[in-house]
Amino acid sequence: MSLAYPAHRGTLALAGRPGYDAPHPGTPSPTRTQHSVTQAERRDITIIGGGPTGLFAAFYAGMRGASVRIIDSLPELGGQLMALYPEKYIYDVGGFPRITGKDLARNLIRQGTQFEPEVHLEEQVQELLRDDEGFVVQTSAGRYPSRTVLIAAGKGAFSPRVLDCPGYDTLLGRGVEYHVRDPARYRGQRVLIVGGGDSAVDWALGLKDETESLTLIHRRDGFRAHAHSMQQLQDAVDAGTVDLLTYREVRAIHGDDCVTGATIFDNRTDEDTTLEVDAVLSLIGFRPDLGPLADWGLDLERNTIRVSPAMETNIPGVFAAGDIATYEGKLELIATGFAEAAVAVNHAVHHIDPKARVNPGHSTNLKVFKDREEAQPAPAG
């Protein structure tokens, strides 16, 4: 599809108040809302993606006094942190020596929803249309007018890479999984993990002390996991808590109502071995797919969107941040996404209202937070 770029600029929906004053923030739980095209209100910024970058963008936009909408295809906010890696530890987010994915996501949800953004979950974004005041985002469930759009959708929709073997499809969800939601589910079980990346190695290390037995197989002898994790894996193999088999692939997964075993083979000799297992974790990665976003007329580089230093795409008024955005020197880190979200939001605010400052200053000096602190009761003493 082709896009005619909107030239409309106006005032922020919440402007008219001096400085960057915004509604008194609370910490509400995100609510799902549904609107028809006639009911949906125009928002200043529609954020596509409810992961770490999108949530921080929602917070920052609220801090700037902008009205915000979040749209995500998942059933809950938090993105991949909640959907795929809730129990994994994250070490490279400032202020947290280590924190699990789910705890970081919960903190971000609390922070990102304190200015009460409109949240739409389990909706797939389909089209980006223009109108006289900006854009209309078409999803699988509605049409949402917006003055600007911020794409913070990670690498787009992710589809798991699957094992091409009998039993995978029929036993998926009944012992076969492509991610770990609840580690306690595998306590006392015989588990086979397939994969050679960080996820496979990390979960082998994370589950080895809970399972009755744990076998990790990989189709070659080279791994893509961090060196420190590989040393820990070698220590676990030496201690006998992990059985590591390289040059192995899955021939078939066995079971009727649940997994009872798996046949693996040596891809050098084609020799089969049958293992008695209760669970098969296929942790072989995901295929990123931009889906309909690829047809929006954006300047794409593989599965990412090229942006300017202002995090603006080639379409004026459409910004991108996080893993989906690319530029020279890009680092794909959660911490990077936070900074990009702030840059994108500040420039989106300026796009809507050219009189608004791009740099709002430090949050400690903003009136919205001073008002909140003054409204809090003094501690008893």
**Which CATH number is 168's domain given?**
3.50.50.60
Q: 274 and 235, same structural domain?
A: yes
What mean pLDDT comes out for the span 142-165? Answer: 90
What mean pLDDT comes out for the span 12-24? Answer: 38
**Separation in Å, CA 136 to CA 43, 55, 61, 225:** 10, 21, 19, 42
For residue 213, the surrounding DSSP H or E stretch is strand 213-218
**Does residue 37 fall inside a structural domain?**
no
Q: 301 and 349, same structural domain?
A: yes
| pLDDT for 221 beyond 60 | yes
| pLDDT for 34 beyond 50 | no
pLDDT category, 380, cuts 50, 70, 90?
Answer: low
pLDDT tens digits, 363-377: 877 777 767 666 666
**Does residue 257 fall inside a structural domain?**
yes
**Does residue 267 fall inside a structural domain?**
yes
**Does residue 27 fall inside a structural domain?**
no
Q: What percent of the chain has pLDDT over 90?
A: 70
Choose between 154 and 367: higher pLDDT: 154
pLDDT tens digits, 239-296: 999 999 999 999 999 999 999 999 999 999 999 999 999 999 999 987 777 889 999 9
**Separation in Å, CA 195 to CA 2, 163, 201, 219, 326:** 41, 10, 8, 8, 28
pLDDT score recorded for residue 91? 92
Q: 175 and 244, same structural domain?
A: yes
**Which among 253, 284, 315 is the end of a domain?**
284
Q: What percent of the chain has pLDDT over 70?
A: 86
pLDDT category, 360, cuts 50, 70, 90?
Answer: confident
| pLDDT for 362 beyond 70 | yes
Q: 296 and 206, same structural domain?
A: no
Q: 365 and 337, same structural domain?
A: yes
| pLDDT for 211 beyond 80 | yes
**Does residue 192 fall inside a structural domain?**
yes
pLDDT category, 378, cuts 50, 70, 90?
Answer: low
| pLDDT for 171 beyond 60 | yes
pLDDT score recorded for residue 379? 57
**Structural domain count of the chain:** 2
pLDDT tens digits, 304-353: 999 999 999 999 999 999 999 999 999 999 999 999 999 999 999 999 99
**Which among 251, 284, 317 is the end of a domain?**
284
**Which among 284, 311, 328 is the end of a domain?**
284
**Does residue 345 fall inside a structural domain?**
yes
Strands 261-266 and 248-254, sheet pairing: antiparallel
- Quote the mean pLDDT of the chain: 87
Q: 145 and 294, same structural domain?
A: yes
**Separation in Å, CA 340 to CA 38, 269, 297, 319:** 33, 50, 22, 10
pLDDT tens digits, 62-108: 999 999 999 998 888 999 888 777 778 899 999 999 999 999 999 99
**Does residue 19 fall inside a structural domain?**
no
Q: 322 and 252, same structural domain?
A: no
Q: 244 and 103, same structural domain?
A: no
**Sign of the torsion angle spanned by Cα atoms 275, 287, 336, 105:** negative
Q: Which domain holds residue 223?
A: 162-284
Q: How many CA atoms lie within 13 A of 17 on its CB side?
A: 14
Choose between 194 and 371: higher pLDDT: 194
**Does residue 24 fall inside a structural domain?**
no
**Sign of the torsion angle spanned by Cα atoms 115, 116, 121, 123:** negative
pLDDT score recorded for residue 181? 78
Q: 239 and 306, same structural domain?
A: no
| pLDDT for 113 beyond 70 | yes
Q: 176 and 237, same structural domain?
A: yes
Q: 181 and 252, same structural domain?
A: yes
Q: 260 and 273, same structural domain?
A: yes
pLDDT score recorded for residue 84? 73
pLDDT category, 13, cuts 50, 70, 90?
Answer: low
pLDDT score recorded for residue 9? 39
Residue 297 — φ and ψ, nearest 5°?
A: 80, 15
Radius of gyration of the chain (CA): 24
